[in-house]
Structure 1
Amino acid sequence: MYKHILIATDGSELALKGLRQGLGLARISGAKVTVLTVIEPLRPQVLAAAQRAGIEDPVGRYDQQIDEMMKERLASIQAEATEQGVTVEPIHEVDDSPAEAILRTANLQGCDLIVMSSHGRRGLQKLLLGSQTSEVLVKTTVPVLVVR
């Protein structure tokens, strides 16, 4: 079965379903688990607007907010993992493209399954909004479990 599962999560309710599915599969198969969260970097436009508004050290404040959010998210992930009796290795990335971060992490960690959630958008909405899940599916040779 699977030896190393990568679970991608953004902290949403839908991603929680994916986390639970991935942890359950890991428990059954005895697989190692890496949980990846990806946050986009502070955009230059937002930085400039914050500076114009007189906010001191917007980069430091953004980093502090991300750190606090990641601590909460990690605690939630650890609680789910403990409940299912699974040990996880959390990884946090800052990247413009969550899909690229997922692909890179799966490759570097030697994962043989990627678990991620998808809203299941279709048609024009999918085209306009893009889909990190679709990008991962198109670019990887690693099996992907999509949870909806």
Structure 2
Amino acid sequence: MYSNIVCGVDGSDLSSKALRHAVALAAKTGGKVTAVTVTEPSIIVAPGAEIMMVDTSAIIADLDKAKAESAKAILADADKIAGEAGGKISGMHVANSPAAEGILQAAKEVNADLIVMGSHGRRGLGRLLLGSQAAEVLAHTELPVLVVK
């Protein structure tokens, strides 16, 4: 039924819970799980920058390096959680993308047939019932979405 599951992970307790659900579901269906973490684009806002010239490339490169290292740690933790739950996952880091767009991009790339994610993560203030990223994924995909709370 669900042979190719994408699970959004961000290091939060709720995304870990969602990952455990994805791994358990994959074990029952004989499917595989791809844990996806997304890092947003690095931007620098400097009021008055129109009158000065600053080379921000080194700053942006350092920010991107730190985010890549954080993503690597999140995926390593996800691999450990999956192993403890009795499963195996593959990991994917989508860089320079809003979270929902990155999850949807990953789902398309791996030809997923289910997206699993937590109802709230570490991003944004959230919404009344669902986190803003979960709501965005639901609004922009035709795939089934399992939202874990």
Interval containing the TM-score (normalised by the shorter chain): 0.7 to 0.9
2:28 is matched with: 28
Aligned residue among 107, 121, 128 for 1:122: 128
Q: What's the CA shift for 1:28?
A: 1.8
2:114 is matched with: 113
* TM-score under structure 1 length normalisation: 0.81
Q: What's the CA shift for 1:29?
A: 1.6
Percentage identity across paired residues of the two chains: 41
Q: Give every structure 1 segment of 4 or more consecutive aligned residues whose post-TM-superposition deviation is greater than 6 Å.
A: none
Q: What's the CA shift for 1:118?
A: 1.1
Structure 2: distance between partners of 1:70 and 1:138: 25
Structure 1: distance between partners of 2:57 and 2:4: 43
1:48-59 pair list within 5 angstroms: 57-59=58-60
Structure 2: distance between partners of 1:16 and 1:84: 11
1:95 is matched with: 96
Question: Structure 1 residues 62 and 29, CA, compared in 2 at 3 Å: closer, same or farther?
Answer: same
Give the match's secondary structure for 1:44.
coil
* TM-score under structure 2 length normalisation: 0.80
Residue by residue over 1:29-77, the C-alpha shift from the partner in whole angstroms, topping out at 9 and shown as x without a partner, is 211111110010111317x7xxx9xx99212321231232123212211
* Structure whose residues are more often helix by fraction: 1
Q: What's the CA shift for 1:18?
A: 0.8
Question: Structure 1 residues 56 and 135, CA, compared in 2 at 3 Å: closer, same or farther?
Answer: closer
Name the aligned partner's letter for residue 28 of structure 1. K
Report the RMSD for the aligned CA atoms in angstroms. Answer: 2.6
1:1-148 pair list within 5 angstroms: 1-45=1-45, 57-119=58-120, 121-122=127-128, 131-148=132-149
- Contact (CA 8 Å) 1:27, 1:84: kept in 2 or not? no
